[in-house]
């Protein structure tokens, strides 16, 4: 089912107070946090979004609130990072380059520790001349072990809307139009909305209480692993089967 309303910045911002990216202190980037992730359909998105308008502010930059993200993931030849996630290993890492709506690009190292905290470290890059081998020292210092050589694996594109609670302790992101490419093979879920609540105290989050009331439970979800599990037949998917079945149940 497609959205019954056009997903434009004017529609998205209607009824929300706005916050500019330039107004957010650095700690609100929430690079060290706990994440709760949900998968919802378009009807649920419209209902949830309406209920959040009085308690959350919407992120706006240059008059826009719908931002495009372009992500290139890297992994070893034997897909070490994918395999670590598939078997539930902690701590674990993802390595990627990401280009944001404003044109800035970063090499990002995302780590999840054995207490469930997510930490993100990044280094601004020129994506047009980027070669990952040039950053082996940065990668080693970030994750503490050598993983080179690293190869390009999955490319993921999507669009995002971001909300912040009034106290600036929680960030909620809604990701639309998921599209993954792995060496020319593509997989997309244009009707799926991926939602993440990012903060340190989810117990008092209005959003998470709303999801509980709607009987929508959190899931373990990785854009990288989700795409690869649908595109690379040689990989194990045992621990991803419940997620894949959930997606098929919602959208097929």
CATH of the domain at 247: 2.40.320.10
Say which residue the tokens 């990002």 belong to. 108
- pLDDT tier, 1 (very low <50, low <70, confident <90, very high otherwise): very low
Q: Got the DSSP string for 182-239? A: ETTEEEEETT-EEEEEEES-GGG-HHHHHHHHTT---B---HHHHHHHHH-TTS--GG
Indicate whether 181 belongs to any domain. yes
pLDDT attached to residue 18: 92
- Of the candidates 177, 226, 233, which has an alpha carbon nearest to the alpha carbon of residue 73? 226
pLDDT at 9 over 70: no
Q: Is position 12 within any domain?
A: no
Q: How many domains does the chain have?
A: 1
In a domain? residue 16: no
Helix (H, G, I), strand (E, B) or coil at 135: helix
Under the banding of pLDDT at 50, 70 and 90, the label for residue 31 is low
Please indicate, yes or no, if residue 218 is contained in any of the structural domains: yes
> Model confidence over 82-95: pLDDT tens digits?
999 999 999 999 99
Query: What residue numbers bound the domain in which 46 lies?
Result: 25-251
pLDDT at 250 over 90: no
Closest alpha carbon to 153 in 49, 55, 231, 90: 231
In the three-class reduction of DSSP (H, G, I as helix; E, B as strand; rest coil), residue 245 is classed as: helix
Q: What DSSP state is assigned to residue 44?
A: H
- Structure token pair of residue 223: 């854009």
Residue partners of 13: CB distance under 8 A and separation at least 6: 58, 60, 65
Q: What is the tens place of the pLDDT at every residue in 187-228?
A: 999 889 999 998 877 677 899 999 999 999 999 999 999 999
What is the C-alpha separation between 164 and 175, in angstroms, rounded?
Answer: 15
Is residue 177 included in any domain, yes or no?
A: yes
Interatomic CA distance for residues 126 and 104, integer angstroms: 8
Does any domain span residue 58? yes
Q: Is residue 7 over pLDDT 60?
A: yes
Q: How high does pLDDT run on average in the chain?
A: 89
pLDDT of residue 28: 54
Task: Give the model's pLDDT for residue 214.
Answer: 94
User: Taking residues 7-11, what's their average pLDDT?
Assistant: 68
28 versus 225: the higher-pLDDT residue is 225
Q: Kindly state whether residue 5 falls inside one of the protein's structural domains.
A: no
Tokens, residue 57:
């502010």
Which pLDDT tens digit goes with each residue over 115-168? 878 888 999 999 999 999 999 999 999 999 888 799 999 999 999 999 999 988
Copy the structure tokens of residue 173: 């992101």
pLDDT band at 34 (very low <50, low <70, confident <90, very high): confident
Residue 33 covered by a domain: yes
**pLDDT surpassing 90 at residue 3:** no
149 prior amide bond cis, ω within 30: yes
């Amino acid at each position: 089912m497609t959205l019954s309303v056009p997903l434009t910045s004017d529609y998205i911002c209607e009824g929300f107070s706005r916050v500019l990216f330039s107004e957010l202190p650095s700690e609100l980037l929430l690079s060290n946090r706990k994440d709760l992730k949900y998968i919802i359909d378009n009807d649920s998105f419209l209902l949830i979004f309406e209920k959040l308008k009085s308690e959350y502010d919407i992120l706006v930059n240059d008059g826009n609130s719908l931002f495009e993200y372009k992500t290139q993931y890297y992994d070893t030849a034997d897909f070490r990072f994918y395999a670590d996630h598939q078997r539930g290993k902690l701590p674990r890492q993802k390595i990627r380059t990401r280009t944001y709506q404003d044109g800035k690009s970063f090499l990002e190292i995302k780590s999840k520790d054995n207490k469930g905290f997510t930490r993100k470290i990044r280094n601004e890059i020129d994506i047009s001349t980027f070669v990952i081998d040039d950053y082996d020292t940065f990668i080693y210092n970030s994750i503490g072990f050598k993983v080179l050589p690293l190869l390009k694996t999955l490319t993921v594109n999507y669009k995002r809307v971001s909300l912040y609670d009034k106290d600036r302790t929680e960030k909620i992101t809604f990701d639309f139009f998921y599209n993954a490419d792995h060496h020319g093979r593509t997989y997309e879920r244009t009707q799926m909305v991926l939602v993440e609540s990012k903060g340190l105290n989810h117990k008092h989050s209005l959003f998470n209480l709303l999801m509980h009331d709607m009987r929508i439970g959190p899931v373990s979800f990785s854009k990288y692993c989700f795409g690869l599990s649908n595109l690379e037949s040689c990989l194990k998917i045992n621990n991803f089967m419940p997620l894949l079945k959930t997606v098929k149940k919602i959208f097929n």
